[in-house]
């Protein structure tokens, strides 16, 4: 008995996160989230996924979607997540997600879903396609999380409200049927911060920005990275220091600090008496070095089609097996018909 408890205590807590396959992630996505996944994977029992079911809430071109899912999966391997140690899966290949999402829809109120700010924002920008999936999106995300009994979910500010509704749904279900789901907590990242647009540094860096010079994609080639940093917006006082109002310089300092581990004071000292030209080149070089191993690994993995598909199949199989346990429990509690034999 004591042994069993000891073994249980040693059992790592679980973390789950998914990423949408909508285009190549930016340097902001990398420094703010993906870069941390490797560390998280070492500390926790993790499941990572490509959220392709979520991505069809806006129209996708079929061939492009397929390619983007493959690229995103390869990128997860390229950031050094180990498919032997973590579950890495594609959401649409694990049928329990859509199954539990339907069930959770029936335990979510129209009113609470209507308060989701992402839905409100997206229905303003996609006025021609305000579909029911876009509205019910958080119930699918709740299913993703609750199926794996995740203790923690690394979330950025934009997904916090969705995690809160997930907690509400889990607590409601547990209240009605007894303990069924672990109620997940947000995992707040200390590093990374928020990386801003290189052209309008008061706006978050975004891959859907109409100005490609405003963001660095994780797969941008070194000369492209250099060019984009050289044209980054700064200010006219030519001093590398972190100060209110110097949004462009602050952003570049944040990036440089993330990639080199240097503090703001060290950076200011390093560029004392030098112009922004030198600073921008140094920032670009640090980013190029940061992305180099990921890009090299990606180029290799994306060509190994059979290996990639093996990992996908394996990931889907394990994810299905684990998540099925939760789904079975839920279905039983609700009263869906169970065979006697």
Helices H / strands E in the chain, number of each: 15, 5
Taking the complex as a whole, the smallest distance from the CB of residue 51 to ligand TRP amounts, in Å, to 4
Taking the complex as a whole, the smallest distance from the CB of residue 287 to ligand TRP amounts, in Å, to 22
Nearer to ligand TRP, 232 or 322 (CB): 322
Annotated active-site residue in 14, 207, 228, 280: 207
* Spatial contact of 337 and 109, defined as CB atoms under 8 Å apart: no
Considering only CA atoms, which of 326, 329, 8 is closest in space to residue 148?
Answer: 326
Nearer to ligand TRP, 160 or 332 (CB): 160
Which single residue is written with the structure tokens 């990128």? 75
DSSP per-residue string spanning 156-173: -GGGHHHHHHHHHHHHHH
Taking the complex as a whole, the smallest distance from the CB of residue 205 to ligand TRP amounts, in Å, to 15
CB-based contacts of 9, cutoff 8 Å, min separation 6: none
Angle in degrees, 0-180, between the axes of helices 160-177 and 305-334, rounded to the nearest 10: 40
Q: What share of the chain is helix, strand, coil (3-state, %, to 5)?
A: 60, 10, 35
Nearer to ligand TRP, 58 or 334 (CB): 58
Taking the complex as a whole, the smallest distance from the CB of residue 142 to ligand TRP amounts, in Å, to 8
Nearer to ligand TRP, 49 or 201 (CB): 49
Rounded CA separation 286/256 (Å): 7
* Residues at the site binding ligand TRP, with contacts judged by CB under 6 A: 16-18, 20, 51, 54, 141, 144-145, 153, 159
Annotated active-site residue in 35, 204, 246, 280: 204
Whether 207 is a known active-site residue: answer yes
φ, ψ of residue 152 in degrees (nearest 5):
-135, 150
Nearer to ligand TRP, 31 or 283 (CB): 31
Taking the complex as a whole, the smallest distance from the CB of residue 332 to ligand TRP amounts, in Å, to 24
Whether 14 is a known active-site residue: answer no
Whether 122 is a known active-site residue: answer yes
What is the 8-class DSSP label of residue 38?
H
Annotated active-site residue in 122, 228, 246, 280: 122
Rounded CA separation 241/145 (Å): 41
Active centre residues (catalytic): 122, 204, 207
């Amino acid at each position: 008995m004591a042994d069993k408890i000891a073994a249980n205590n040693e059992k790592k807590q679980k973390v789950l996160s998914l990423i949408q396959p909508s285009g190549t992630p930016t340097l902001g996505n990398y420094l703010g989230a993906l870069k941390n996944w490797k560390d998280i994977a070492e500390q926790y029992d993790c499941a990572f996924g490509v959220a392709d079911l979520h991505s069809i809430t806006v129209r996708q071109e079929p061939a492009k979607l397929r390619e983007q899912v493959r690229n995103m999966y390869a990128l997860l391997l390229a950031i050094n997540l180990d498919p032997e140690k973590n579950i890495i899966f594609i959401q649409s290949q694990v049928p329990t997600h859509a199954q539990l999402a339907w069930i959770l829809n029936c335990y979510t109120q129209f009113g609470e879903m209507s308060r989701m700010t992402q839905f409100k924002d997206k229905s303003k920008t996609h006025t021609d396609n305000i579909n029911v999936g876009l509205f019910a999106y958080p119930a699918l995300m709740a299913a993703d999380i609750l199926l794996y009994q995740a203790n923690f979910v690394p979330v950025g500010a934009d997904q916090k409200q969705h995690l809160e509704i997930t907690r509400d749904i889990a607590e409601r279900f547990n209240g009605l049927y007894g303990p069924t789901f672990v109620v997940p907590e947000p995992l707040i990242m200390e590093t990374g911060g928020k990386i801003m647009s290189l052209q309008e540094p008061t706006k978050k860096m975004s891959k859907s920005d109409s100005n490609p010079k405003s963001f660095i994609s994780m797969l941008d080639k070194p000369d492209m990275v250099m060019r984009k940093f050289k044209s980054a917006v700064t200010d006219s006082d030519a001093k590398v220091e972190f100060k209110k109002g110097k949004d462009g310089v602050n952003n570049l300092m944040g990036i440089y600090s993330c990639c080199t581990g240097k503090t703001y004071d060290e950076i200011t000292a390093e560029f004392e008496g030098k112009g922004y030209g030198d600073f921008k080149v140094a920032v670009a070089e640090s980013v190029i070095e940061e992305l180099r191993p990921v890009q090299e690994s990606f180029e290799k993995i994306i060509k190994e089609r059979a290996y990639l598909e093996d990992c996908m199949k394996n990931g889907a199989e394990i994810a299905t097996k684990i998540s099925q346990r939760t789904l079975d429990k839920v279905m039983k509690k609700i009263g869906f018909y169970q065979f006697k034999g």
